[in-house]
Amino acid sequence: MLTVNDINVYYGPIHAIKGVSFEVRPGEIVALIGANGAGKSTVLKTISGLLRPKTGNIVFDGRDITKLEAHKVVRAGLAHVPEGRRIFLQMTVIENLEMGAFTKSTVSEEDLEDIFTKFPRLKERRKQVAGTLSGGEQQMLAMGRALMSKPKLMMLDEPSMGLAPILVEQVFSIITELNKAGTTILLVEQNAGMALDVAHRAYVLETGNITLSGTGEELAQSDEIRKAYLGG
């Protein structure tokens, strides 16, 4: 579904992403793990059209999207839940969800009810201003907003960031359920243990390079990964 071919991305003179290649197949959860500053968020921003690679290309659902504008990438079926959630804090829950469907001509009640079925807490809070939600509720809203565009693939950037452990488990449970319901997921996550637990496959990114790949289970059992990311 998604193939990233040898992309090189620069911030001015800084070579942030160095020849990164990987793929995401339909129906998978693929995790991209690595330390802070390894370039994980940069990879997602490049895929979603917010940054441009200097070389290399990105193919999504059989189409080269390397130079596609960000809103057209969403329209093609690829949604990005950014780090820090980036919801519209002054708008209500329902207004945020409606913004997620901006590439479509109408917002149907059916689509909203589908989100409320997946996230019952959002239904309870539908008229509440988003900035007054808890961190876990804001993460659910960010995911719900992305799902309003009916994506074939959803990219999640650090969904567990800043959440209490019990909420982290809840968010990862939702990610697994979304995947079982048919959404392919590319997951960037610093909580390597949780990410490898849910991922079918995973890649390790270190200072802009992919250094390891394998199934989630293989990497979770690797001594190298355990020492570097899993506390032993």
Q: Can you give the residue ranges of every domain in the chain?
A: 2-229
pLDDT digits (tens, 9 = 90+) for 68-118: 999 999 999 999 998 877 888 889 999 889 888 777 766 777 788 888 888
Q: Which three-class secondary structure state does DSSP give residue 44?
A: helix
* pTM (two decimals): 0.90
Q: Which pLDDT score, from 0 to 100, does residue 195 have?
A: 93
CA-CA distance, 97 to 112, in Å (whole number)? 8
Q: Is the pLDDT of residue 3 over 70?
A: yes
CATH fold group of domain 2-229:
Rossmann fold (3.40.50)
pLDDT digits (tens, 9 = 90+) for 123-170: 989 899 998 988 888 988 998 999 888 899 999 999 888 888 888 888
For 51-193, strand residue ranges (E) read 55-60, 63-64, 78-81, 153-157, 184-188
In order of 98, 151, 220, 224, the CA distances from 207 in angstroms are: 37, 30, 20, 16
